[in-house]
A and B are shown apart, each in its own frame.
Chain A
Amino acid sequence: MSGARGLVRLYVAGPSPRTEAAWHTVQTACKVASTPRFDVELVDVSERPDEARRAGIMLTPALVRINRGEERRWLGDFTDVEAVARALVSDDV
């Protein structure tokens, strides 16, 4: 059912130990952030550059949360699970 689950996308620039760590952090944070309300997706901007540009991504890694039609975006190194979890539940209605 549309709108029942939000979407979290992590945009990265190619595989590397750093992007793997960020992906692991985001996945963990999605589990930690109260309920499993998010579908999680990894987007490699080097493989899907047009999609990243259309989404307006400027720098990576970038975390995008789309919930109830609203989008929020964060930039950072995504090594702190708590910080990512806090971001995912911020401004929640």
Chain B
Amino acid sequence: MSEAEGLGGADGVRSVQRILLVEDEASDALVLSHALKGLGFAPSGFLQARTLAEALTLLETGEVDLGIVDLGLPDSRGTDTVRRIRAAAPDLPLIVVSAAADTEAAVGSLQRGADDYLVKGAYDARSLDRAIRYATDRRRLQTAERRRAVELERAERQLRAVVEAHSDGMLIVDSRGVVRFSNQGARHLLGFDERELVGHTFGSPLLDSGDAVELEGPVRGDTRSKVEMRSTAIDWEGTPAHLIVLRDVTVHRRLEERLRQSQKMEALGQLTGGIAHDFNNVLAVILNGTEALAEMVPAELVEAHAELREIETSARRAAGMVRRLLGFSRRGYLRFETLDLRKFTQDALAITRRMLTDVVGIRSSVEEGVGNVRADPAALQQIFLNVVANARDAMPEGGELTIDSGAAELDESHRARYPWVSPGQYERVSLSDTGVGMTAETLDRIFEPFFTTKGPQSGTGLGMAMVYGLMKQHRGLVHVHSKPGGGTRVDLFFPSSAASKRDVHRAEPQRGARRGTILVIEDEDALRRGIQRVLSNAGYEVLLAQDGREGIDAWRKHRAGIDLVVSDLVMPKLGGKEVLAEIRRAGDPCPFLLITGYGVESLADLRGRGVSMLTKPWSQQTLLNAVRAALRGEDVAPEATA
């Protein structure tokens, strides 16, 4: 075993390849080189420097694994040599070999950065080897520690950057609820901005379940947000603490509420539409029956006629309610025209003045530039009447009603609550009153059918439900703003129409309309008999069928002689639309009058194709008017019976 191997020199040779020898005395350099060779270090790896300057140059230009330095150099004396070499090479294992045997020189060298100190002439191979191994191990450990510290610092910086950048607020609170750490998100959310939160009392979570709790704040700020808080018990620097995460959920809650409202209204619409349809059928039978009885009962039975009129009045009132319900449920039939909203508003104002008592002042500032809209004039009038009626009722002691208007642009954000609304240009008409206003709870329910804050004799609670439904049918929307004691403002938004105004063509009723043959298809026996009676009395020849299949058979048989087909929409076996489709497929352009309990937007595609519509319940006159118009080839709007 060589001396080098016995002293661990094999390892030393592997890790230390290039040795910098800083020694100006040639003899001393030779002794050192020889000692190193004896330890197994290859002389090809020795770098000789006779001055500090040479040593520093060698350190700059190449890799050096070990430095052995004499303190007495021509250009540097004492421990300053060590300091400068250490500054140039912080990780270099460094051994001082000096003639000075005093402790002061040794301590000074070590303090300046040397790893070991040997006295010339007093060291042997063993002590040299030990010094080399000690120096290299020590430097390796120190270098590793420093690198770990640098990496730790980098990881900490990165983590801090992530925590600070996170939009959620993060707090660490101790067991007394005092803030020990906060991020920018928390400071912003709690209204602290750049001021530090640490040291302030936030509070402890009441429960440690980890479930989210909804709070409000910040108390410091002027706005109120909804804040979701989650807490987790943690250990913070050896003591129990809580990690609190805060999230602003204000927008989220608002969207949830809009969605809930939208879904509620949709569900209500479905329900009321279904009920209304069934009611219409029943009312049609009642009205037709009273009309028939009125003809049959002798005129001298005055009381009987009075009772019949009562029944008819009640039935018509019920029909009116059903119509308003249908308006809400989006099932009413509307006839759209291009209207000048400004002119319409002024005309409506003239009408509403009559509704308002003298003590209600009216101010109007409808803009010149308010454009055209596509709307049903009757529906628009109904909307105005309903809104003005509510304003009147809110000002029993008098007050002021203001009507103003303007252009508006609605963006995508409205779709969350009003899915039928497209972003774009709208015309706005607003009606404001100085009345008693509404609480938030009332406002939340204002569009619900039958919801009313007035007494049972004062209203059906269908007015605003109707406004909602009609605005929806116009692809617009209604906003209501109100505060208790602060009045109410109703904003109506109609999609702008780029079309120029055109007058609706209304044909003059022709006298002496040609009588003809009418095929009546209706599954309800009472209604079928009622229609037959009315038409026969008016001089028409009537063919009857009690469902769509029978109707088709009858049409095929008498096709050439049929002047008009009157058909119910919803029937077993084959409905009115299917009958129409089959007749048209056969190339017959025969006029078609569809009678419906809904009136339906899905029938909009049939308009202008020789198809008219009539809604139930109809009266004798409305039925005859519709039949005459259909025979004249007009596209007829269904008339209300009330």
B108 vs chain A, min Cβ distance (A):
57
Cα of A75 to Cα of B208 in the assembled complex, Å: 11
The answer on a CB contact under 8 Å between B204 and A60 is no
Cα of A63 to Cα of B245 in the assembled complex, Å: 19
Assuming A75-B229, A76-B213, is B201 touching A56 (CB within 8 A)?
yes
B175 closest partner in A (C-beta): A91
Q: Is B202 an interface residue (CB 8 A)?
A: yes
Q: Is A42 an interface residue (CB 8 A)?
A: no
A44 vs chain B, min Cβ distance (A):
11
The answer on a CB contact under 8 Å between A58 and B176 is no
The answer on a CB contact under 8 Å between B190 and A58 is yes
The answer on a CB contact under 8 Å between B215 and A74 is no
Cα of A45 to Cα of B213 in the assembled complex, Å: 19
Looking at B217-225, B305-313, B420-428, the stretch in contact with chain A turns out to be: B217-225
Assuming A72-B204, A73-B203, A76-B206, is B177 touching A59 (CB within 8 A)?
no
A57 closest partner in B (C-beta): B219
Cα of A28 to Cα of B229 in the assembled complex, Å: 25
Q: Is A84 an interface residue (CB 8 A)?
A: yes
What is the total of A-B residue contacts with beta carbons within 8 Å?
75
Assuming A49-B219, A57-B219, A58-B218, is B224 touching A75 (CB within 8 A)?
no
The answer on a CB contact under 8 Å between A59 and B216 is yes
The answer on a CB contact under 8 Å between B207 and A60 is no
Q: Is B37 an interface residue (CB 8 A)?
A: no
The answer on a CB contact under 8 Å between A58 and B214 is no
Cα of A62 to Cα of B176 in the assembled complex, Å: 14
The answer on a CB contact under 8 Å between B219 and A75 is no
Cα of A75 to Cα of B224 in the assembled complex, Å: 17
Query: Pick the contact of B176 from A53, A61, A72, A77 — CB < 8 Å?
Result: A72
Q: Is A20 an interface residue (CB 8 A)?
A: no
Q: Is B200 an interface residue (CB 8 A)?
A: yes
Question: CB-CB < 8 A to B224: which residues of A?
Answer: 13
The answer on a CB contact under 8 Å between A61 and B215 is yes
Question: CB-CB < 8 A to B200: which residues of A?
Answer: 56, 58
Cα of A72 to Cα of B206 in the assembled complex, Å: 11
B182 vs chain A, min Cβ distance (A):
11
The answer on a CB contact under 8 Å between B207 and A59 is no
Q: Is B205 an interface residue (CB 8 A)?
A: yes
Q: Is A21 an interface residue (CB 8 A)?
A: no
Question: CB-CB < 8 A to A52: which residues of B?
Answer: 219
Please report which residues of chain B, range 132-174, place their CB below 8 angstroms from some CB of chain A when the two chains form the complex: none
Assuming A73-B201, A74-B177, is B206 touching A63 (CB within 8 A)?
yes
Cα of A13 to Cα of B217 in the assembled complex, Å: 8
Cα of A62 to Cα of B203 in the assembled complex, Å: 8
Question: CB-CB < 8 A to B227: which residues of A?
Answer: 59
Question: CB-CB < 8 A to B202: which residues of A?
Answer: 58, 73, 75
The answer on a CB contact under 8 Å between A73 and B220 is no
Cα of A71 to Cα of B224 in the assembled complex, Å: 26
Please report which residues of chain B, range 469-517, place their CB below 8 angstroms from some CB of chain A when the two chains form the complex: none
In this complex, how many residues of chain A approach chain B with their Cβ under 8 Å: the count is: 26
B184 vs chain A, min Cβ distance (A):
16
Q: Is A66 an interface residue (CB 8 A)?
A: no
Q: Is A40 an interface residue (CB 8 A)?
A: no
The answer on a CB contact under 8 Å between B218 and A59 is yes
A1 vs chain B, min Cβ distance (A):
27
The answer on a CB contact under 8 Å between B229 and A71 is no
The answer on a CB contact under 8 Å between A78 and B206 is yes
Q: Mark A18-56, 1 if CB is under 8 A from B, else 0.
A: 000000000000000000000000000100010011001
Question: CB-CB < 8 A to B217: which residues of A?
Answer: 13, 58-60
Cα of A27 to Cα of B251 in the assembled complex, Å: 33
Cα of A53 to Cα of B201 in the assembled complex, Å: 12
Q: Is A7 an interface residue (CB 8 A)?
A: no
B200, B206, B213, B216 interface centre (most CB from chain A within 10 Å): B206
Please report which residues of chain B, range 187-209, place their CB below 8 angstroms from some CB of chain A when the two chains form the complex: 190-191, 200-207
Q: Is A83 an interface residue (CB 8 A)?
A: yes
Question: CB-CB < 8 A to A80: which residues of B?
Answer: 206-207
Cα of A53 to Cα of B142 in the assembled complex, Å: 52
Cα of A74 to Cα of B202 in the assembled complex, Å: 8
B288 vs chain A, min Cβ distance (A):
51
Query: Pick the contact of A74 from B205, B216, B219 — CB < 8 Å?
Result: B205
Question: CB-CB < 8 A to B190: which residues of A?
Answer: 58-59
A52 closest partner in B (C-beta): B219
Question: CB-CB < 8 A to B207: which residues of A?
Answer: 76, 80, 83
Cα of A45 to Cα of B216 in the assembled complex, Å: 11
Query: Pick the contact of A73 from B177, B216, B218, B246 — CB < 8 Å?
Result: B177
A86 vs chain B, min Cβ distance (A):
9
Cα of A76 to Cα of B227 in the assembled complex, Å: 11
The answer on a CB contact under 8 Å between B216 and A53 is no
Cα of A49 to Cα of B219 in the assembled complex, Å: 7
Assuming A72-B177, A73-B201, is B219 touching A87 (CB within 8 A)?
no
The answer on a CB contact under 8 Å between A75 and B213 is yes
A11 closest partner in B (C-beta): B219
The answer on a CB contact under 8 Å between B220 and A74 is no
The answer on a CB contact under 8 Å between A60 and B229 is no
The answer on a CB contact under 8 Å between A59 and B206 is no
The answer on a CB contact under 8 Å between B219 and A59 is yes
A–B pairs, 25, beta carbons within 8 Å = A11-B219, A13-B216, A53-B220, A56-B200, A58-B191, A58-B200, A58-B218, A58-B220, A59-B203, A59-B215, A60-B216, A62-B203, A63-B206, A74-B177, A74-B203, A74-B205, A75-B202, A75-B205, A75-B213, A75-B215, A75-B229, A76-B213, A77-B213, A78-B206, A80-B207
User: Footprint of B on A, CB under 8 Å?
Assistant: 11, 13, 45, 49, 52-53, 56-63, 71-78, 80, 83-84, 87
5 closest A-B pairs (Cβ-Cβ)? Answer: A76-B206, A73-B203, A59-B217, A59-B215, A13-B216
